[in-house]
Amino acid sequence: MKERSISFKQIICCFEHGDITEGPFLNIRGNCQMNITVKSAGEYITSTVAIRENENGETSIVVTTFKE
């Protein structure tokens, strides 16, 4: 986020108002992944979400974000 000058508020906006532009699909690691895109502050912001589960059944969510 900091490297790409994207605020936490823009990411939340992406999740609340964005459209799924890719996925959901299983990525090469076997995790469920999707891209969500929204126009925020005049720029298109995409957040990639991957949900992974370990051998104990615990899940975690990995998010990265970028501008298009």
What's the pTM? 0.80
Q: 3 in a domain, yes or no?
A: no
pLDDT value for 26: 93
Q: How far apart are CA 56 and CA 21, in angstroms?
A: 31
Query: Range of 16's domain?
Result: 8-67
Q: 1 in a domain, yes or no?
A: no
Q: 24 in a domain, yes or no?
A: yes
pLDDT value for 36: 94
CA-CA distances (angstroms) from residue 61 to 33, 39, 44, 49, 68? Answer: 10, 23, 22, 7, 22
pLDDT value for 30: 87
Q: 33 in a domain, yes or no?
A: yes
- Number of domains, the chain: 1
Q: 2 in a domain, yes or no?
A: no
pLDDT value for 37: 96
Average pLDDT per 10 consecutive residues for the chain, totaling 68 residues = 86 92 92 92 90 83 86
In one letter, which amino acid is 26? L
